[in-house]
Amino acid sequence: MKRGQLAEAIGFIFLKLCVGAVLLALVIILYDIVSKGIGSINWEFLTTMPKNGMTEGGILPAIIGTFLVTIITAILAVPLGMGCAIYLNEYAKDNLLNRIIRMSIRNLSGVPSIVYGLFGVILFVQLMRFGTCVLSAGLTLGLMTLPWTITASEEALKNVPKSYREGALALGATKWQSIRTNVLPYAVPGMLTGTILGLSRAAGETAPILFTGVAFFLPFLPKSLFSQFMALPYHLYIMSTQHHAISKVRPLAYGTALVLIALIFVMNLFAVVLRYNLRKVKTE
Amino acid sequence: MAYSRIKENTIHGLFFFNGVLVIVVLVGIFVLLITKSMPAFKEISLLHFLFSFKWNPTASFVEPSYGIWSMIVSTFMVSIGALFIALPLGVGTAAYLSDVASYRVREIFKPLVEILAGIPSVVIGFLGIVLVGPVIAKIFRLSNGLNALNGAILLAIMALPTIISLSEEALKGVPKSFEEASLALGATKWQTLTRVKIPAALSGIIAASMLGMGRAIGETMTVLMATGCALAMPKSFLDSVQTMTATIAIELGEVPYDTTHYYALFAIGLVLFIITFVINMISDIILHKYQRVIK
Amino acid sequence: MDNCKITVHNFNFYYGGVKVLKNISMEIPENRVTGIIGPSGCGKSTFLRSINRMNDTILGARAEGRIVIDGRNIYDDDIDVVGVRRKVGMVFQKSNPFPKSIFENVAYGLRINGEKDRYRIEEAVEKSLKDAALWDEVKDRLNKNAFELSGGQQQRLCIARALAVEPEILLMDEPASALDPTATLKIEELIQELKKKYTIVIVTHNMQQAARISDFTAFFMLGELIEYNITSIIFTKPSRKITEDYITGRFG
């Protein structure tokens, strides 16, 4: 008995150490970036072009580029992801084809991001002749985001009680009427939340855009969907490994990392607040 | 009436095509990778490609060489190293959260894990250069800390959220009756956890670590930035390595279109795709078997 | 016997490969309350859900035989299922108001059927709530969320919602099983009132309730229709021993 308790005490200490290590990793990451990045952040850094071979100036084109490419990602991934989730949760029967669809989704979410990049090069840059541009990069990221948005949207649909659907059908609603009027209104907040979380991950991705449109340095903003662009994650990569004066631009790299993390954090926060607010409206 | 039925069927059809699109994308990736890889194998034998460790596509005086074995070894070395670090930490954390922590601690911890999951790989790679690298260099007295160990540590951090949340789910899935039966026999909480719950959740935990490993194998930016990128057979974790993903990332931007080298890079992509596909399928099968047993 | 509203001919029903309704044949009279009793798992709810084809939503379900309503087999291939459900309303075991206002709950069926006229919707909502004996309790707070109502009120709201689309038949699946005695009594009184206009089929677990409210009673067991007759006969002189055993509480 005594020995059992001793083992338990030691065991729990081990578990606490694990938790502590995970927390420590997170704290170190955030502390390092925030403390060393905050000094670079000012109005000029956020709103001007890079200058003098990117050793001075701001990161405006990278912010705008990431913003634009994420919009394209959303345009592809949000409707298709929601549609696929609606099909799977509302229409699909448990048959071989639909099991294959589910398996495909799980596999797509495991496909390495660089492989999506290769796929984007072949399909969008070459076959569709979009060239390396905002559009190609956004569509590539969109395909990568698709399995996440499907999974998140289906989760939200599953949370709508079955009785809402049955109740509507029993009143003579058609299937689509019951979905549109009595399922989607209650699922959309959750769908959007999950989708925005997926988009925030896409915004931080680098590998899929490497060869589909991102540029090393552009002293101007993208003019159309068919222009190349700068992006925050790629800019951080350049500033930390490819720049000719790496140690000189380190503060700028930290600043870029902080802006990127802050952007993702704000998107996540937005998603959570959205869920909270829409939920409040619903129960009122 | 007929009109509304046509409308219903049309809508159903549209959603159906939307669902099938997912299969099209997956098969499309596979098919396009194969068509782009095939030309490479006109000049390189498959065996040479996979098992020769000499990768020198731009050799000008000798015959160019396209062997990716050292990259495959590097990839697995870094990923398995990452798993080695992340698995005990992740399962320990999951066990703490599911069995020891109070509801409040769990609720606080959950978003923290999500924040960790949300940190982009390029930022983690950056920290590998500025933070982890110098520490490793100091401890092991190396000229720089960009090596397999660095990559493994970073990938472990990236795999942690997946392993924590999936393991926690697996532990929660163990029927309450198992736990109660064990406690009723006079077992301590710790004994119950290690001898009943973790064994019962084992397949879920294995599936979680497979998924984490699949992610690690496919991760690009982190290893590109933090492992030093040296094309050679690694002898220890303190050697610089270059993974398959890093090779594609470094070379695809510089290689002329429609050369053997260009196609060979797509072939590396195909190998990556197949490896991660197989790992995902295995974890899928383990997970499904496990769910059936629990039911 | 009264005018027959629903005729069931040799009806079988399967979940997966399992036969859960075995060769049911019965006639359900118009403007009467027909009670269906039997032990749990005897197929009474499945039978009820077959009458408005709600079982269509269950994966792997299959029906055989015919259920004829007003001379039309609702299992014909070319039947308009949505039309069947408009004609055959349903109240579920657990009250299932939608997370909308009281008004919008009742108006829902009208809106999906294409009614846009605000005045007509208001009129129908008021009438349905009155028919469901709920109007006086909610008329001042029609815009409040339906979840604010008590359990019994929620169930009457669901009845009102079903009435608003003007069905001819009302199926009730243990509508009072989750309610306290006072609320149950209210629902029972309401059913007596409703049968003047509607044909009612009610599944109940509670034999006293069946004896109180139904004109005809059918006893189901293990997917079979054991006995079906006027309620007073079922409860006083059942022709089968097993019916008597169930009614006197020897099992169930």
- Rg of chain C taking only CA atoms, in angstroms: 18
Residue B295 has pLDDT above 50, yes or no: no
Residue B121 has pLDDT above 90, yes or no: yes
Residue B20 has pLDDT above 90, yes or no: yes
Give A4-32 pLDDT, tens digit per residue.
Answer: 788 888 999 999 999 999 999 999 999 99
Residue B294 has pLDDT above 60, yes or no: no
| DSSP state at residue C100 | S
Least confident of B2-11, B25-34, B115-124: B2-11
Rounded Cα gap, residues C160 and C164, in angstroms: 6
Residue A2 has pLDDT above 80, yes or no: no
Q: Is B8 on the interface with A (CB under 8 A)?
A: yes
For A51-63, what is the mean pLDDT?
Answer: 83
Give B28-73 pLDDT, tens digit per residue.
Answer: 999 999 999 999 998 888 888 898 888 888 877 778 888 899 999 9
| DSSP state at residue A229 | B
Provide the b/e sequence for A142-165 (b: ≥16 CB within 10 Å).
bbbbbbbbbbbbbbbbeebeebbb
CATH architecture of B65-294: Orthogonal Bundle (1.10)
Q: Is the separation of the CB atoms in B78 and B223 below 8 Å?
A: yes
Set out the domains of chain A in order of their start, with CATH numbers.
Answer: 59-283 (1.10.3720.10)
Q: What is the pLDDT of residue A135?
A: 95
Rounded Cα gap, residues B53 and B231, in angstroms: 9
Paired sense of beta strands C88-91 and C169-173, if any = parallel
Distances (CA, A) of C148 to A73, A86, C133, C144, C145: 41, 30, 17, 7, 6
Q: Is A273 on the interface with B (CB under 8 A)?
A: no
Centre a 10 Å sphere on the Cβ of residue C46 and count the other Cβ atoms it contains: 21
Percentage of chain C surpassing pLDDT 90?
72
Q: Is C161 on the interface with A (CB under 8 A)?
A: yes
The residue in chain C having the minimum alpha-carbon distance to the alpha carbon of residue B5 is C80
Rounded Cα gap, residues C92 and C175, in angstroms: 6
Q: What is the pLDDT of residue A248?
A: 82
What is the DSSP secondary-structure string of chain B?
A: -HHHHHHHHHHHHHHHHHHHHHHHHHHHHHHHHHHHHTTHHHHS-HHHHHH---EETT-SSS--EE--HHHHHHHHHHHHHHHHHHHHHHHHHHHIIIIIS-HHHHHHHHHHHHHHHHS-HHHHHHHIIIIIHHHHHHHHT-S---SHHHHHHHHHHHHHHHHHHHHHHHHHTS-HHHHHHHHHTT--HHHIIIIIIHHHTHHHHHHHHHHHHHHHHH--HHHHHHSB---S---STTS-B--HHHHHHHHTTTSPTTSHHHHHHHHHHHHHHHHHHHHHHHHHHHHHHHHHHH-
The residue in chain B having the minimum alpha-carbon distance to the alpha carbon of residue A256 is B123
Q: Is C41 on the interface with A (CB under 8 A)?
A: no
For A246-275, what is the mean pLDDT?
Answer: 90
Q: What is the pLDDT of residue A279?
A: 64
Q: Which residues of C touch B5 (CB under 8 A)?
A: 80
Looking at mean pLDDT, say which of A187-191, A279-283, C216-220 comes out highest.
C216-220
Q: Which of A99, A166, A171 to mutate to test the interface with C (most CBs of C within 10 A)?
A: A171
Q: Is the separation of the CB atoms in B119 and A261 below 8 Å?
A: yes
* CATH number of this structure's domain C4-247: 3.40.50.300
Q: How confident is the model at residue A283 (pLDDT cuts 50, 70, 90)?
A: very low
* Three-state secondary-structure class, residue C7: strand
* Three-state secondary-structure class, residue A48: coil
For chain A, what is the mean pLDDT?
A: 90
Helix axes B260-294, B202-218, angle to 10 degrees: 170
Distance to chain A for C129, nearest Cα, Å = 16
Q: What is the pLDDT of residue C66?
A: 94
For B4-14, what is the mean pLDDT?
Answer: 90
Rounded Cα gap, residues C44 and C21, in angstroms: 9
Q: Using CB atoms, which chains have 3+ pairs under 8 A with A?
A: B, C
Rounded Cα gap, residues A67 and A263, in angstroms: 10
Residues 6+ apart with CB under 8 A from C188: C176, C209, C212, C213
* Three-state secondary-structure class, residue A68: helix
Q: Is the separation of the CB atoms in B162 and B79 below 8 Å?
A: no
For B182-193, what is the mean pLDDT?
Answer: 87
Contact A204 B221 (CB under 8 A): no
Distances (CA, A) of B191 to A2, B175, B204: 13, 16, 19
For B216-237, what is the mean pLDDT?
Answer: 90
Q: What is the pLDDT of residue A219?
A: 78
Q: Which of C85, C93, C94, C166 to mutate to test the interface with A (most CBs of A within 10 A)?
A: C85
Residue whose pair of structure tokens reads 């698709």 in the numeric block: A146
Residue B22 has pLDDT above 80, yes or no: yes
Alpha-helical (H) ranges within C88-204 are 102-112, 118-131, 135-138, 151-164, 181-194
CB contact residues (below 8 A), chain A span 141-180, against chain C: 161, 163-174, 177
Q: Is A118 on the interface with B (CB under 8 A)?
A: yes
Q: What is the pLDDT of residue A284?
A: 40
CB contact residues (below 8 A), chain C span 200-239, against chain A: none
Number of CB pairs, chain B paired with chain C, less than 8 A apart: 4
Q: Which residues of B touch A14 (CB under 8 A)?
A: 92
| DSSP state at residue A214 | B
Rounded Cα gap, residues A206 and A188, in angstroms: 29
The residue in chain B having the minimum alpha-carbon distance to the alpha carbon of residue C112 is B4
Percentage of chain A surpassing pLDDT 90?
68
The residue in chain C having the minimum alpha-carbon distance to the alpha carbon of residue B2 is C80
Contact A181 C108 (CB under 8 A): yes
List chain C domain ranges. 4-247
Residue A281 has pLDDT above 60, yes or no: no
Give C69-118 pLDDT, tens digit per residue.
Answer: 998 999 998 888 888 999 999 999 888 999 999 999 999 999 988 888 99
- Which pTM value belongs to this model? 0.88
For A236-259, what is the mean pLDDT?
Answer: 89
ipTM of the complex: 0.92
**B216, two tokens:** 């690690």
Element (H, E) at C217: strand C216-221
Q: Is A113 on the interface with B (CB under 8 A)?
A: yes
Residue whose pair of structure tokens reads 């840059």 in the numeric block: A125
